[in-house]
Structure 1
Amino acid sequence: MLKKPVKLTDERYRLGYHVSASQGWINDPNGFCYFNGYYHIFFQHHPYSSEWGPMHWGHARSKDLVHWEELPIALTPGDIEDKDGCFSGSAIVKDDVMYLFYTGHHYYGDNDPDHFWQNQNMAYSKDGIHFTKYENNPIIEKEPEDNTHHFRDPKVWLYEDKYYMILGSQGKDGLGRGIIYTSSDLINWDYEGDMSKASSLADEGFMWECPDFFHLDRKEVLLLSPQGMEESGKNYLNLFQTGYFVGQHDYLTNTFHREEFTELDRGHDFYATQTTEVPDGRRIVFGWMAMWESDMPEKVDGWAGALTLPRELRLKDNHLYMSPVKELEKLRTDQGQDHHINKKGEVILAESVSSTEILIEVDLRNTENQEMTFALKDKENESILSLTYSQNNQELILNREDVSDPRFGMIQEAEELSLRVFIDKSSVEIFINEGEVVFTERFYAEEAPNFTIETTKQTEVESTVYKLNHSAITYLS
């Protein structure tokens, strides 16, 4: 009996310019690449319900990183090599062919979800739409001897004349790590070992998911999602984290000399990133705009999960800045409304925000110990979400009405505070000081909220509010 995709029953929380699926569940972004004039993004997808299930690869493409069209499912599980799921992976283009690398997931059949094994597989396409699984899969049959069964999420790149694959894994010592394979042909792979070696520490988690390794500003960056990091003060507050190490990689010895782990996004809803280098040399990243402990109220409407906006990564003083790609200005449908504020107290900056971009510049040169709060509020002026900035310690605190635990960020002392805020129907992404700190959040309101600013002292504030296209995604019928 053929399965039927779950039906979308309500669009009350449906996003307008974020990549998602026409129905069903999605999580991790996969296979991000540029091929034959299109940006391609894939994602973990369960089309038959709005809950996590046997993972397929959903697929969308775009010519401009702004307007996306959903394409047919690229990978479907059920073959010998991926019987219980086509888990996360990456893409690379070689000789006008797109190659996908993904993890095959297999349960032992004892109804224990933690009793599984994994392998690595490849599929390919000449048109970027129809994919053929490699006839001799798996390309890596099983985990190495020094690894546990946690062995997934291949990211492949070319360095000089050799292909490299990093896999998220868990060593026999129970610690997360990144392991490396090499190949000359994308088919035959040799195990090179643990790139993190003895530098892996117990407080860096028990499993490293979704590793991504790239060169940026004369350094190497390992971007990853470690599971099992313990909460530390105001850091590592999500169930699982996403962040990065900056360092130098010795390809001859397969050793990554790195600094400490840093979170990339400080919000409640950000996980499982994937990057690619686009034709003009920028490094662009997507993340899953949710988290495993999130309630996701949209599930009852036949869908769950979305990807973040595409963001550019820049490295400065060993800190990753993350800002919206410049192409997103194409979402604007008007010239914007400018506002000038020079007083203390609360002001409604924009009413009924749904598909909205807000630019804010705050002059801090003539104030001391200023505290200001930016908020989404309902029609009764009750806060749905708020971000408070304290000038005396440069701290940012984000609170959401539906969860009890705030999130925190710190910026360097500056003469100006700038915010760029993207609000979709049930999401908000806040970029502070050119992406020095970012908060990604989902929120669920029955009516479009107002956006307010409240200051404790008279302050110069300049802002521009843009309306955005709420139909930037074209779904399969």
Structure 2
Amino acid sequence: MKKSIIIPLLFCAILTSGLNAQDLREKYRPEFHFSPKANWMNDPNGMVYHNGIFHLFFQYYPNDKIWGPMHWGHATSKDMVSWDEQPIALYPDSLGYIFSGSAVADVHNTSGFGKDGKFPLVAIFTHHNPVLEKLETGKHEYQSLAYSLDDGKTWTKYSGNPVLQNPGISDFRDPKVSWFEPQKKWIMTLATKDRVTFYSSPDLKSWVRESDFGVDAGAHGGVWECPDLFPIQHNGKQVWVLIVNINPGGPNQGSAGQYFLGDFDGKTFKPYSKETKWLDFGTDNYASVTFSNTGSRMLMMGWMSNWQYANLVPTHPWRSACTIARELGLKTVGKEIYLTSTPVKELDVLRSTGFNEQNVKVQGQLDLTEKTKNSTGLFRLELETKNTADFSIVLANNEGNELVVGYDKATNQYYIDRSKSGKIDFEKGFGQKHTAPRLSKDPTMDLTLIADAASVELFADGGLTPMTDIFFPDSKMSKLYIKSISGTTLKKLGYSVLQPETKSAQGK
């Protein structure tokens, strides 16, 4: 979110890390994850569905591929799979850089920005003032508005900005705004250093503080950022989900997202538990928030990187991508309710050749390379097994690189091991093994693994345990193995080559 003080050091690290022009290639460009054509991107912002189009705004620095003065980049899609990059939506101004925030369809024109019977899209974002930051006033972040009357193509900043002044909190940012129908008002969920603060407004312009949450709840290994608040129906009851991203302090170091479940009455969030539940156990899903205006579907995307090494990854001429879009749900395990995330059904458009088999025995190593015949390394693997022994899924290439995704029965943990995955020396903590607990009590295990050019996303047990990791192989991971030393039988094994029609995940 704000990393300006480390740019000079990071730039020096890039120059001295031994990376050369041959390393900095387009080969790591994702094929079906959004990435900008060039330069730096981080948090997804202002995600809104409007008139059949998904709008993705994002933290963007157009002049370099390391973090700099933030703009709002913009991309659009009809299916959350193929993205078209649009002109920059919001530029820094006299009030500061354009930090993270959200966008809403103001269908009742509560803001008064609408005109000629057309309601506006309204962006609510943080202005970050670098001049005030240097003065250490503690009031350098405040909330502002912009609106669009042409379906998100162009934006006008509100002349009355900022609409919410800073009371003296150094980290006062990332407004996620939604309509609270029972009380006909807008709710802003705002990250306020070590907690979230809820504000309400009838018109998006005048805001009243309602309550705080979190000072005595959840993980506090770093600053709280990029919150989200929304309801999901579960077993006939409305459950409110509060997402809070944290940096650092994740379950596998660095940036991560946590969530709480509870009740919200338009003023106060009351959690069922103050313990942390993790949104993703990998290291590369941060600042995840949901699209607005999608009805009962809760659709989420995150920044597929980690502040631990985001400025150093060996990509060119861009840095960072977004995760695939995920659909959120809830599932009860014992006495606990957990959030689930699964790939959106729209991703099925990518499936091409493949196979589905049953009762596949794995003893030692099952080599699927010849059967898959996939030189791209882009695939979707789905398997189901019962009373599982240890097993691993190995992505490999001719250079000896391996990315290993697996399950360890002794610890009852899933893992992703990128210690031999290719380029790992650009940051000392990158080449590690990451673990995640198996939350399900069901003896039957199901996994979905989605692989792009430089990322894997694992969804275990119906999305109870997601893991997202990026990696940088020396060549495409065209080999695929499933291993189990003690032996196991896969009740189901499905494989699909993922084949985008064009490189449309890349901004056009």
**TM-score if structure 2 supplies the norm length?**
0.82
Relative to structure 1, the CA distance from residue 243 to residue 40 in structure 2 (aligned partners, 3 Å threshold; closer, same or farther) is: same
Alpha-carbon contact 1:56-1:73 (below 8 Å) kept = yes
The Cα of 1:21 is off from its aligned counterpart by 0.8
> Aligned AA for 1:92?
V
Range moving further from structure 2, 305-314 or 441-450: 441-450
| 1:155 correspondence with 2:171 | no
Q: Which residue is 2:270 aligned to?
A: 256
Q: Which residue is 1:347 aligned to?
A: 366
Alpha-carbon contact 1:13-1:298 (below 8 Å) kept = no
- Post-superposition CA distance 1:118-159 (Å, at most 9, x none): 111100111211111111111112x22xx5221000011111
Q: Which residue is 2:40 aligned to?
A: 25
**Structure 1 runs not aligned, ≥5 long:** 1-8, 171-175, 230-234
CA distance in 2, matches of 1:476, 1:11: 13
**Structure 2 runs not aligned, ≥5 long:** 1-23, 108-118, 425-429
Q: Match for 1:364 among 386, 393, 398?
A: 386
How many matched pairs?
Answer: 447
| 1:375 correspondence with 2:375 | no
- Post-superposition CA distance 1:281-327 (Å, at most 9, x none): 11010010000112566555221001000001101122011100011
CA distance in 2, matches of 1:291, 1:113: 27
Greater strand proportion? 1
Q: Which residue is 1:457 aligned to?
A: 486
Q: Match for 1:86 among 98, 102, 125?
A: 98
The Cα of 1:278 is off from its aligned counterpart by 5.4
The Cα of 1:352 is off from its aligned counterpart by 5.1
Q: Match for 1:65 among 61, 65, 80?
A: 80
Q: Which residue is 1:168 aligned to?
A: 191
Q: Which residue is 1:274 aligned to?
A: 289
Alpha-carbon contact 2:401-2:474 (below 8 Å) kept = no
Q: Match for 1:320 among 322, 339, 342?
A: 339
CA distance in 2, matches of 1:52, 1:130: 24
Alpha-carbon contact 1:89-1:102 (below 8 Å) kept = yes
| 1:199 correspondence with 2:208 | no
The Cα of 1:206 is off from its aligned counterpart by 4.9
- Superposed, 1:50-449 pairs within 5 Å as 50-77=65-92, 79-82=93-96, 85-95=97-107, 96-108=119-131, 117-127=140-150, 128-141=152-165, 143-144=166-167, 147-160=168-181, 161-170=184-193, 176-196=194-214, 199-200=216-217, 203-217=219-233, 218-229=238-249, 236-252=251-267, 254-259=268-273, 260-276=275-291, 279=294, 281-294=296-309, 301-317=316-332, 318-332=337-351, 334-339=352-357, 341-350=360-369, 354=376, 356-365=378-387, 370-379=389-398, 382-401=400-419, 402=424, 403-411=430-438, 412-449=440-477
> Aligned AA for 2:495?
V
- Post-superposition CA distance 1:388-421 (Å, at most 9, x none): 3133543212211233532211222333322211
Aligned-residue RMSD, C-alpha: 2.6
Alpha-carbon contact 2:252-2:282 (below 8 Å) kept = no
Alpha-carbon contact 1:16-1:472 (below 8 Å) kept = yes
The Cα of 1:109 is off from its aligned counterpart by 7.2
Alpha-carbon contact 2:383-2:494 (below 8 Å) kept = no
Alpha-carbon contact 1:66-1:472 (below 8 Å) kept = no
> Aligned AA for 1:209?
E
Alpha-carbon contact 1:378-1:384 (below 8 Å) kept = yes
CA distance in 2, matches of 1:379, 1:296: 28
Alpha-carbon contact 1:209-1:225 (below 8 Å) kept = yes
CA distance in 1, matches of 2:156, 2:377: 38
Relative to structure 1, the CA distance from residue 323 to residue 138 in structure 2 (aligned partners, 3 Å threshold; closer, same or farther) is: same
CA distance in 2, matches of 1:276, 1:118: 24
- Post-superposition CA distance 1:9-47 (Å, at most 9, x none): 831111111111111110101111111221111110111
Alpha-carbon contact 1:107-1:113 (below 8 Å) kept = no
> Aligned AA for 1:460?
T
Alpha-carbon contact 1:107-1:115 (below 8 Å) kept = no
Q: Which residue is 1:473 aligned to?
A: 504
CA distance in 2, matches of 1:55, 1:343: 50
SS at match of 2:26: coil
Identity %: 32
> Aligned AA for 1:396?
Y
Relative to structure 1, the CA distance from residue 476 to residue 438 in structure 2 (aligned partners, 3 Å threshold; closer, same or farther) is: closer
